[in-house]
Amino acid sequence: MLNITLAATAAITSVGLTAAQTAASVRAGICRNRTFAYQTSCSSSSSGLFEASVPDDCLPVMDRQMPPLEKRLLQLTGATAGQLAHIKLADIPLVVGLAPGAFAGHSDPDILHMMAEQLGATIAPGGSRVIKEGRAAGLIAIEHACKLIADNKADSVLAGGCDTFHDPDLLGRLNIANRIKSRTAMDFFVPGEGAGFVLLKRSDPEPLAQIWAGATGFEPGHPGSAQPYRATALADTIGIVCRPLSDKIATLFAGMNGESHWAKEWANALLRCSEHFDPAMALYHPAEYYGDAGAACGPIMTALAVIGMRRGYLRGPALVYASSDQGPHCVIGVNTVRSQ
């Protein structure tokens, strides 16, 4: 078992400017979906669609001249810095999960430098990495960070993800596919945005929680593939994570965003992995409150699981999983230290 210490969390979503506020809003059932209109470079404007976004005036001001989408990603990242201000983030590896097309034209070292600058961190090049794998990317970043510590390549790692759907061309493609929530869409999700980071350590005098295992997988029959969809990746990765654990999973945070494809995937995993789940297991899919946070969803859900278990309204052990449209999957297991 890994037993990597989780020492700090930070997050921002449309329902909370901090991880704690997001957790409280989700627990209270607060939803911040709103209608919006957009116009792409190659089509007329579209309205009557729903989104969940962080208010512009809640993001830090940036004078840097760069494309609006890249600027917003850095602003979302910078908005989490205050939650980590009490920690010295010097010469530490940074692992960041992003959408496949994020920061196109920038090298990975440039992306890491810009992200670290917003977080108030100085990064160690060894071990630092950018992971552009879509919705699962932020959770894959955490799993990769755990391996760095387990392999004695780092004592502490800052890992997480950031994403936004504030891209007219992306929204246009999703709308053409009828995937965005509207008054007429039948199978949809709410585009959201957010950022989430966790500080992982080999040991800490006052740990928040521990990650006992993590696993990644790939679904060959993903939505963009011509191969048959067998929904094996999620079940297989859950099995790997749960295998070393004697206790049943009491809480599960799912990266489902409301589309039926991901509900079918979870139903298959539930059947195949039922022996690992407590019959009274609580299932949460918080995208229903703050929208699909893309690559940030895994780190945000990890923070929600940790906060809930620490405050006693969630039971451990807990699983967190996320699945990408392009096939990558990731699952991690987290538990409070006192219940290990």
Same domain, 50 and 119: yes
Of 152, 182, 201, the position where a domain reaches its end is 201
What per-residue confidence (pLDDT) applies to 339?
A: 40
What per-residue confidence (pLDDT) applies to 41?
A: 55
Same domain, 136 and 235: no
Residue 191 located in a structural domain: yes
pLDDT at 32 over 60: yes
Q: What are 177-216's pLDDT values in tens digits? A: 888 898 778 888 999 999 999 999 998 888 899 999 999 9
Strands 46-51 and 34-38: antiparallel
Residue 1 located in a structural domain: no
Q: How far is CA 279 from CA 107, 270, 320, in A?
A: 47, 11, 18
340 pLDDT band, cuts 50/70/90, is very low
Mean pLDDT calculated for residue range 35-40: 68
CATH number of the domain encompassing residue 12: 3.40.47.10
Of 182, 201, 220, the position where a domain reaches its end is 201
Same domain, 171 and 233: no
Q: What are 134-165's pLDDT values in tens digits? A: 999 999 999 999 999 999 999 999 999 999 99
Same domain, 90 and 154: yes
Q: What are 261-320's pLDDT values in tens digits? A: 999 999 999 999 999 999 999 999 999 999 999 999 999 999 999 999 999 999 999 999
**Contact of 148 with 154, CB cutoff 8 Å:** yes
Helix 108-119 / helix 68-78 crossing angle, nearest 10 deg = 40
pLDDT at 43 over 70: no
More confident position, 223 or 138: 138
Q: What are 240-265's pLDDT values in tens digits? A: 999 989 899 999 999 999 999 999 99
172 pLDDT band, cuts 50/70/90, is confident
40 pLDDT band, cuts 50/70/90, is low
Residue 251 located in a structural domain: yes
Same domain, 123 and 151: yes
What per-residue confidence (pLDDT) applies to 2?
A: 84
Stated pTM of the model: 0.94
Of 175, 201, 227, the position where a domain reaches its end is 201
| Beta-bridge mates of residue 191 | 292
Same domain, 188 and 227: no
Same domain, 182 and 239: no
What per-residue confidence (pLDDT) applies to 13?
A: 98
Could you give the strand order of the β-sheet that contains 277-284, starting from the edge strand earlier in sequence?
129-132, 94-98, 156-164, 193-201, 4-12, 209-218, 328-335, 318-323, 249-254, 277-284
Q: What are 52-93's pLDDT values in tens digits? A: 999 999 999 998 889 999 999 999 999 999 999 999 899 999
Same domain, 258 and 319: yes
Q: What's the domain range around 187? A: 6-201
What per-residue confidence (pLDDT) applies to 35?
A: 81
